[in-house]
């Protein structure tokens, strides 16, 4: 198993919720670190006419919080964008009070920008513009996000061992995680439009950066990289590039997988990206499904028919596709890597199990070995994107 040395920092580990929740405070701190500057801003918003509103309302804005370490050694900041259905807090700690990935990468000399998606966290949900929301009930969260091994909906579920608590409603650590859950856009295309625009505006403001996207945020990150390829210096896709084109539902044995039809007509996105040769107006990509899955524990992938169109704006960007052994994303992880490769986009498809790191689920940044996983990312960044500057 890989071992990664980490410096220590003291930045208030974990979630501090003023609620009747009783998660134990554990002291897995990374030690002292000096922050040279920190602050926040909003990006992407504008005044919008909305039904039922007497005057235009501010909408489409994302909240961004940043910290810049005094010992900054890396040329590009990391922009962290959370997935469904939390906010930026998922990067800042863990349910059991350990330090999170934001702290870890600050200790490695990176500036860190954490974005709350449009309509989440400190970017308020504007009902009159965003429409109906889609909250996540506790039992849904237990089944879909945390306790895979209890429900056995996909072949790898039984391998899950890294969640730090019992993983069920009523367990203090699960309750901390549930408290992070926030209502989400029911209209997934509208959500993508707003967050893609906000991400473009963020890079326009801060300049060249590394995108770190988790899960749902991958849809935005691919669009942002297409829009601002000169500003995206690397992409760390944390289970953020799975099944292309079609959604795949997990339904348990014996058949395991159910194709739910077209959802992302541009491959990974619902909104247009630039293929070459370019598509004509109203023209769709020609796609086909594998006749047979690569193995019994994997879903059949949807890919372009040959000759495949390319994604030239993504070519040349270092891309890491990182996947946990026991995540619900594992049955389709290979599909994302294959889609990119076919489109002429080199990518590093990294499965933690291949590195001797076992038992991780989808929210690996919160699990027991979260810093070991962060070390894998840090090593990849040093090799592929950001060699140390001014290292002693």
Place 31 in a pLDDT band, splitting at 50, 70 and 90. confident
Tell me which of 76 and 24 has the higher pLDDT: 76
Q: What per-residue confidence (pLDDT) applies to 300?
A: 97
**Backbone region of residue 52 per phi and psi (left: phi > 0; alpha: psi in -120 to 50; beta: other values):** left
**Backbone region of residue 318 per phi and psi (left: phi > 0; alpha: psi in -120 to 50; beta: other values):** beta
List, for residues 53-75, the tens digit of each pLDDT value.
999 999 999 999 999 999 999 99
* Domains along the sequence of the chain with CATH: 35-384 (3.40.50.1820)
Q: What per-residue confidence (pLDDT) applies to 348?
A: 98
Q: What per-residue confidence (pLDDT) applies to 32?
A: 83
Residue 390 has pLDDT above 70, yes or no: no
Q: How much is the pTM?
A: 0.91
User: b or e along 142-158 (b: 16 or more beta carbons within 10 Å of the residue's beta carbon)?
Assistant: bebbbbbbeeebbbbbe
Whole-number mean pLDDT of the chain? 91
> Percent of the chain beyond pLDDT 70?
92
List, for residues 286-311, the tens digit of each pLDDT value.
999 999 999 999 999 999 999 999 99
Residue 10 has pLDDT above 50, yes or no: no
Q: Check: CB of residue 285 under 8 Å from CB of residue 303.
A: no
- For tokens 């594992």, the residue is 330
DSSP state of 117: P
What is the sign, positive or negative, of the torsion defined by CA atoms of 237, 4, 15, 44?
negative
Dist CA 35 CA 16 (whole Å): 20
Residue 240 has pLDDT above 90, yes or no: yes
Dist CA 225 CA 89 (whole Å): 24
Q: What per-residue confidence (pLDDT) applies to 13?
A: 33
Q: Which residues are catalytic?
A: 215
Q: What is the secondary structure of 139-188 as a DSSP string? A: HHHIIIII-HHHH--STTGGG----SS--STTSHHHHHHHHH----BS-H
Q: Check: CB of residue 287 under 8 Å from CB of residue 302.
A: yes
């Amino acid at each position: 198993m890989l071992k990664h040395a980490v410096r220590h920092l003291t930045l208030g580990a974990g979630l501090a919720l003023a609620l009747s929740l009783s998660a134990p405070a554990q002291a897995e701190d990374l030690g002292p670190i000096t922050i040279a500057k920190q602050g926040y801003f909003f990006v992407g918003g504008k005044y919008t006419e909305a039904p039922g509103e007497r005057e235009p309302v501010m909408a489409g804005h994302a909240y961004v919080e940043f910290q810049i370490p005094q010992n900054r050694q890396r040329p590009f900041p990391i922009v962290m964008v959370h997935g469904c259905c939390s906010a930026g807090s998922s990067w800042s700690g863990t349910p059991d009070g350990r330090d999170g990935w934001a702290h870890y990468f600050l200790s490695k000399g990176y500036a860190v920008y954490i974005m709350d998606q449009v309509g989440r966290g400190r970017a308020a949900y504007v009902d009159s513009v965003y429409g109906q929301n889609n909250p996540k009930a506790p039992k849904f969260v237990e089944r879909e996000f945390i306790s895979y091994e209890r429900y056995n909906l996909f072949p790898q579920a039984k391998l899950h061992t890294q969640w730090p608590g019992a993983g069920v409603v009523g367990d203090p650590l699960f309750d901390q995680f549930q408290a992070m859950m926030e209502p989400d856009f029911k209209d997934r295309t509208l959500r993508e439009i707003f967050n893609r625009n906000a991400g473009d505006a963020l890079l326009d403001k801060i300049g060249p950066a590394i995108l770190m996207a988790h899960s749902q945020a991958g849809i935005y990150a691919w669009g942002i990289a297409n829009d601002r390829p000169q500003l995206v210096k690397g992409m760390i896709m944390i289970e953020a590039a799975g099944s292309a084109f079609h959604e795949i539902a997990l339904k348990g044995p014996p058949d395991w997988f159910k194709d739910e039809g077209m959802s992302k007509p541009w491959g990974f996105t619902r909104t247009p990206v630039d293929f070459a040769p370019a598509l004509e107006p109203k023209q769709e990509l020609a796609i086909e499904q594998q006749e047979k899955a690569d193995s019994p524990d994997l879903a059949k992938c949807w890919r372009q028919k040959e000759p495949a169109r390319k994604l030239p704006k993504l070519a040349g960007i270092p891309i890491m596709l990182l996947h946990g052994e026991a995540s619900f994303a594992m049955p389709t992880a290979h599909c994302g890597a294959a889609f990119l490769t076919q489109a002429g986009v080199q990518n590093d498809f990294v499965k933690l199990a291949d590195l001797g790191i076992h038992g991780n689920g989808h929210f690996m940044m919160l699990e027991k070995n979260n810093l070991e996983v962060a070390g894998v990312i840090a090593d990849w960044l040093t090799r592929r994107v950001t060699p140390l500057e001014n290292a002693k």
